[in-house]
Amino acid sequence: MEDGAKSGFVEDFAAALDWWRDAGVDCDFAEEPNRWLAPNEAEAKQAERRAVVAEAPPPPPKPTIDRSSLPQDLAAFRQWWLDDPLLDDGRLSGRVPPRGDQGADIMVIVPEPERDDGEQLLSGPQGKLLEAMLAAMGIGLENIYLASVLPRHTPMADWAELADKGFGAVLLNHVRLAAPKRVIALGSNILPLLGNDPAHSPAVLREINHEGLTIPLLAGKSLSALLERPRWKAGLWQGWLDWTQI
């Protein structure tokens, strides 16, 4: 009789626990929570696995461009621009070379090639706009050196990451080797690579100073922005007039 009563009590208690478990209640709460029910076997094993799994190691640092390895003459630089894997994370296709001669009157720097560029930099609408601008300024194409910061068309480029990678050193080295009399930089992302504090107005940086060279600089909106908002051309034109009177 006593054993039967105990058996019935155990069954009733187990049934009550199952009822609370099915209801989603397995803890009571005071100032500190306490489990009413021991974790099942699957939960216990999962907790053990979480305890022994170490934190994932941080990702390795991304490779940067070694300034000391940059080419020291323009012909070598132009070939390096097309061939060096580190310049574009190993991608070689779609790269477009700069064009023009060393010692040009004007070096025009743009952020990147146009989407459909092949052998020639700025072979599309942006190039046509640039030609029209230069004609209005009285500058022939034979008197400019045209270069891009990036070797290929790169939508949504991470410019802060590119700066950390060393593209500022690459660009300044390119300017030094091209040795133009003046530089026009068309694109706000270019200026920090030339030494301008992003918090400052583009007008603050009116010249490039690099390794003993001082080259006058005119900064303006990118050609893609000028195509989208033609009224901005007036600002660039006024900047050109002011610049050429210095």
Q: Domains (ranges, CATH) in the chain?
A: 67-244 (3.40.470.10)
Q: What does the pLDDT read at residue 76?
A: 97
SS (H, E, C) the chain: CHHHHHHHHHHHHHHHHHHHHHCCCCEEECCCEEECCCCCHHHHHHHHHHHHCCCCCCCCCCCCCCHHHCCCCHHHHHHHHHHCHHHHCCCCCCCCCCECCCCCCEEEEECCCCCCCCCCCCCCHHHHHHHHHHHHHCCCHHHEEEEECCCCCCCCCCHHHHHHHCHHHHHHHHHHHHCCCEEEEECCCCHHHHCCCCCCCHHHCCEEEECCEEEEEEEECCHHHHHHCHHHHHHHHHHHHHHHCC
Q: What does the pLDDT read at residue 112?
A: 98
SS (H, E, C) 53-73: CCCCCCCCCCCCCCHHHCCCC
Q: What does the pLDDT read at residue 37?
A: 59
Q: What does the pLDDT read at residue 27?
A: 61
Q: What does the pLDDT read at residue 55?
A: 66
Q: What does the pLDDT read at residue 212?
A: 82
Q: What is the pTM assigned to this prediction?
A: 0.75
Q: What does the pLDDT read at residue 89?
A: 82
- The two three-digit tokens of residue 186, written as one number: 């068309």
- pLDDT string in tens for the chain (246-residue length): 555 555 666 777 677 767 667 666 666 556 666 665 556 666 666 666 665 555 677 777 778 888 889 999 999 999 999 999 989 888 888 999 999 999 999 999 999 999 999 999 999 999 999 999 999 999 999 999 999 999 999 999 999 999 999 999 999 999 999 999 999 999 999 999 998 766 555 554 588 988 888 999 999 999 999 999 999 999 999 999 988 886
